[in-house]
Amino acid sequence: MLVQLKEEVLEANLALPEYGLVTFTWGADAHNAGHNYVVFEEVAQMACRLMTLSPGQVRMRDELLDKHFLRKQGAHACYLQ
């Protein structure tokens, strides 16, 4: 099951550029940005596995999601991390 899920996630990631979407990571230099990308992918895979194996898990509060996703848009935009 996990092998199939990993293949599906890989296929989905490879299809992102078709829709003008890519995974973006940053770092002090190219090597550090590559390292951050690997960490990002691992965290995303862990989250995907958690949601697959335990679908009843409590999700993050909408206020925190909004703070993260809306911080760079709107009247109260904030570019701080």
Residue 49 tokens, joined: 């596995």
Share of the chain above pLDDT 90, in %: 0
Is residue 71 within 8 Å of 79, Cβ to Cβ? yes
The torsion of the CA quartet 56, 58, 63, 66, rounded to 10 degrees, works out to -50
For 55-67, what is each residue's pLDDT tens digit? 887 778 888 888 7
Q: Give the mean model confidence (pLDDT) for residues 9-16.
A: 75
pTM: 0.48
Residue 31's alpha-carbon distances to 34, 35, 39, 44, 53, in angstroms, are: 5, 6, 13, 20, 33
Q: Is the pLDDT of residue 79 over 70?
A: no
